[in-house]
Amino acid sequence: MIDKNNCSHAKDLLLEEIQEGMTPAGFEIFLEKHADCRQELITFYDVIKDLDELEKVEPSDRMDAKFYAMLASEPKKNLTIKRSNNWLRNLMVAASIFVVGAMVGFYVMQQDNATPFMAEDTTEDKHMILASNSSIHRLEDIAEMGKAPELNDKIIDALNQALINDPNINVRLSAIEAMLHYADNPKVRANLIKAIPYQESPIIQLTLAEVMISLEERNSADEWRTLLKSDKIEADVKTQLEETLAPVLKL
Mean pLDDT in the chain?
Answer: 72
Q: What pLDDT score does 130 carry? A: 59
Predicted local confidence at residue 249, as pLDDT:
86
Residue 77: how many CB atoms within 10 A of its CB?
Answer: 11
Domains of the chain: 54-249 (1.25.10)
pTM, two decimals, is 0.55
How do residues 107-126 score in pLDDT, each as one tens digit? 333 433 333 333 334 444 44
User: Is residue 104 scored above 50 in pLDDT?
Assistant: no
pLDDT 10s digits, 188-243: 999 999 999 999 988 899 889 988 888 888 899 999 999 999 988 888 889 889 98
pLDDT tens string 236-250: 889 889 988 988 887
Kindly indicate the confidence band of residue 22, based on its pLDDT and cuts at 50, 70 and 90: confident
The residue type at 62: R
